[in-house]
Amino acid sequence: MRSKKFILLVIFIVLLLSQIPFAYRRYKLRRLNAAIQQLQSQRTQQQINGFTEYKGVVHVHSFLGGHSSGTFAEIISAAQANQLQFVIMTEHTEKDFDTAAMTLQGVHGGVLFINGNEVSAENGDRSLVLPGDVSIAAYPEEFKNWDAARINGVEVYNVFTNARRINPVVAFFDVLWSQRSYPDLIFALYLQRPDESLKKWDQALTRARSTATAGNDAHANIGVSLKDSSGKTLLGIQLDPYATSFRLVRLHVLIEQGKTLDATSLMEAVRAGHCFIGFDFLDDTSGFVFEADGKLQGDEVALKPETRLRVRSPVPGRIVIFKDGAIWNEESGIGTKEIAITERGVYRAEVYLPQLGNLPWIISNPIYVR
C-alpha cells in the first residue's frame, strides 16, 4: 500500500513539475499583454493623402465544400466583432455545385464579402481564385509550377501553415493554462516569420509583379464538442472560432478616396498591390505607410536623382527594407525612415516590434523602381 502511495506521490510531483514551463509561458503572455497596452499609448495617427484604408481577412471557409461546419451567421458576427470592412471567402470546390456562387457575397451586416474558391491543380498546387481575374498562389512552400501558373499574388503567410509546426502536446497545455485569459495572444508563442514563403515570393518578383497576401485559413473546425441530434452544441470548446481567427492577421487595403468600397474597387487594389499584411493581434497596424515619390506600395517608380523611399510605422520598431529579396537597410527604435534610392530594384519593407520580443508585425508590398 505504501509503495502505491509513494508511486502516486511521485507521479503527482512529476505532473506538477511538468506544468512549470506552461505556467511560465502564461506569465510571459501576461507580460506581453502589458507591453502591448503600453505600446498602444505610443501610437501616432498616420494617413496617406488621397487614399482610404480598409482592413479585412482573406482565405475563409464555411460549411460549403466540407472541412468546416461554420455558418454564415457566425462569419458575419465575427467580422462585425472585429470591425472588419471586408472578408474574402475562398470555399473549397465541389463536383456537383458551385460553392463560390453559393457563399457569402455582397454586403451583410455592414461588411463586404467577396466570393471565391480555393482550387487544387492536378499536381497539388493550390490557388485562391477570386473575382476580377485575381489568382493567388496558396501555400507557396508547397507550390511547384511557378512558371506555368498564371498567378498575380502569393499568400506569403498562412495561419494553418504556421500552426502545423506546433507540438500538439505543448499546444494542449498552453490552451489549458492560457486560453481563457489570452485566447489571441497564445498565438504569439508560435508566431514565426514565414521565411520560406517570403523567399518564394521574392523569387516570383524577379519574374513579374506579384501581390503578397496573408491567409487566415479560417475554418472554425478545431475543438471538441458534444452535440444533440439536431446539431446543437451541448458542451464543448472551440479553439479556432472565427472571432479569434479574424484577429490574428489581416490585409489592409488602400483605395482611392471618392471610390466606394465594393468588389471592383477592392479587387483592383489587391491586384495592384495597394495593401499590406498586419499581425493585428499584437497591435493594430492601421496607418502604416510605404511610398516613394508619391507612389504607393505596388506601384512602379522611375529612378531619378531625388527618388526617396519613405516608411512610417504607427509605433516605433525595427524597420527592415529589402532590395531584390536581400536586406538592404535596417534600423531599430524608429517610427519613420526616409532613404535615397540610387539603384533600380524591387524594394519592400517589414516592421518588427522588439518591445514584444522582436515579433514580425508588418509585411509591405513592393515598390518597383525601374
Give the three cell numbers for residue 132: 476580377
Q: Are strands 134-138 and 153-158 parallel, antiparallel or unpaired?
A: parallel
Domain CATH code at residue 101:
3.20.20
Say how far apart CA 129 and CA 119 lie, in whole Å: 7
The whole domain housing 234 covers: 37-288
Q: Which residues pair with 154 in a beta bridge?
A: 137, 212
Look at residue 204 and tell me if it is in a domain. yes
Residue 60 located in a structural domain: yes
- 47-51, 132-136, 228-232, 316-320: which has the minimum mean pLDDT? 228-232
Where do runs of H (alpha helix) occur along 84-143? 99-102
Q: Say if residue 227's pLDDT is above 50.
A: no
Which amino acid would we find at residue 18? S
**Between residues 241 and 6, the one the model is more confident about:** 241
Element (H, E) at 244: helix 242-248
Could you tell me the pTM of the whole model?
0.90
**How much is the pLDDT for 168?**
79
The total number of structural domains in the chain stands at: 1
Query: 252-286 pLDDT, tens per residue?
Result: 999 999 999 999 999 999 999 999 999 999 999 99
Q: 24 or 80: which carries more pLDDT confidence?
A: 80
- State the amino acid at position 156 in one-letter form: V
Amino acid making up residue 284: D
| 22 inside domain | no
Residue 29 inside a domain? The answer is no
Q: What is the dihedral of CA 136, 139, 144, 147, to 10 degrees?
A: 20
In a domain, 318, yes or no: no
pLDDT at 231: 53
**Residue 103 clears pLDDT 70, i.e. is over it:** yes
- Mean pLDDT over 145-172 rounds to 84
Q: What SS3 class is residue 51?
A: strand
